Amino acid sequence: MGPETPLYHFGPTAQILLLGALITAAPLLWVLRRVQGRGPAALLHRLTWVTLFLTFDLVLFGAYTRLSDSGLGCPDWPGCYGQATPIGAGAQIQAAQDLMPTGPVTHGKAWVEMLHRYLATGVGGLILVLCAGSWWLRLKGHSQRSVWWPTFTLFWVCIQGAFGALTVTMKLFPAIVTLHLLGGVFLLALLAWQATQTPDAAPVAGAASHRGKGLRTALALAGGLLWMQIALGGWVSTNYAVLVCDTFPQCQGSYWPDMAFAQGFELWRPLGHTSWGELLSFQALTAIHYVHRLMAYGVIAVMLALAWLLRHHQMHRWALGLFALVCLQCLTGLSNVVLGWPMPAAILHTGGAAAMMVWIVLAWQRTRSQPLTPIAA
């Protein structure tokens, strides 16, 4: 990977935090201008939606960082060869690039990796503002909303930062990279949950609430199934197992190709190797890919059934939105297989899964805040 460098070098931390603060300030000032005169509660509500949007963008950019092999563009953390930007580390990056022109460290990859870190710091700053603002409103008696959701979200974004650091220092360890992806999706779910909690919203009660209970159960089950599928998809991507099956619906000319499940799903091992140091077999990569594909059939069936259930409860736009996301996932998933894993399709596939998780959380909250009327048989 080029010249040796310490895995952790905290010298540029203050500069990176300053850059993150500047990124945080831009959307914060925009929200302040948009909600001028509406009070601090309205500001926090709007800022939560903006933070959700920017976190979704961060998840997409994280997917690009992973798919462009830029995760080790700067092999230390939090800076780049002990510098706050790749500009200051130009000599070290050039030396590594000269040694391995197609290796993990190049000028382009270093910038992609550091931009991801800057944006993550900015999102973390916004979540810090949301947490501090929630506590301030509660202590002043201006809001009865729980402060523990934004507090836990702040805690979780710190955990995400730790996973981001370990992704670099543990050299793209598959389990850590997958957990980092899952953590990002969970952060989206946390923000989506809070974005729908307006000060004047209250759960419906009585018969209307009872009618929505079954739908909420279905949404929760679908969310759990989607969570497992995202984990499998992350495992496929981080192990570079997408291209082992380049046809559909068969894989390697068979509906049940030769697979090594135990080796493929050995969770704690370095990238490309078993825990014993042997190279990961082609059969193991096939198992990783094919399990994700088989699981997709079940997820599609469940999501289509959920769309029908939503339509039955007169949530027509929600049903149409879910159907559109299912179609997007099918299209991008097939494109990844038959078109050789094109970058736009791969990023959209990650974004579609994240959007579906956010959609499920928002739909679940919708069933709590408004009465539902099933279509008469």
List the domain boundaries for the chain: 1-201, 205-377
Q: Which among 30-39, 203-212, 277-286 has the top mean pLDDT? A: 277-286
CB 7 within 8 A of CB 76: yes
CB 149 within 8 A of CB 135: no
pLDDT score of 3 more than 90? no
Average pLDDT over residues 46-56: 97
Per residue in 152-210, pLDDT (tens digit) is 999 999 999 999 999 999 999 999 999 999 999 999 999 999 998 865 444 445 444 55
Q: What integer pLDDT is reported at residue 199 of this predicted model?
A: 53
Q: What integer pLDDT is reported at residue 207 of this predicted model?
A: 46
Three-class DSSP category at 109: helix
Q: What integer pLDDT is reported at residue 77 of this predicted model?
A: 96
Three-class DSSP category at 132: helix
What value does the mean pLDDT of the chain take? 92
- pTM (two decimals): 0.93
Q: Is 257 or 6 the better-scoring residue by pLDDT?
A: 257
Of the listed ranges 76-85, 132-141, 241-250, the one predicted with least confidence? 132-141
**Whole-number percent of the chain with pLDDT over 90:** 83
The angle formed by the CA atoms of residues 25, 27 and 33, to the nearest 5 degrees, is 100
Average pLDDT over residues 98-103: 92
The angle formed by the CA atoms of residues 363, 301 and 66, to the nearest 5 degrees, is 75
pLDDT score of 245 more than 70? yes
Q: What integer pLDDT is reported at residue 198 of this predicted model?
A: 62
Q: What's the pLDDT band for 375 if we cut at 50, 70, 90?
A: low
The angle formed by the CA atoms of residues 295, 298 and 303, to the nearest 5 degrees, is 125
Distance, CA of 336 to CA of 224 (rounded, Å): 24
What backbone phi and psi angles, to 5 degrees, belong to 193?
A: -60, -45
Beta strands, E only, the chain: 8-9, 77-78
Distance, CA of 119 to CA of 115 (rounded, Å): 6
pLDDT score of 234 more than 50? yes
Q: What integer pLDDT is reported at residue 1 of this predicted model?
A: 42
Distance, CA of 345 to CA of 335 (rounded, Å): 6
Catalytic residue selected from 4, 113, 266, 278: 113
Three-class DSSP category at 39: coil
Q: Quick check: is 113 catalytic?
A: yes
- Which residue is associated with the tokens 């462009």? 68
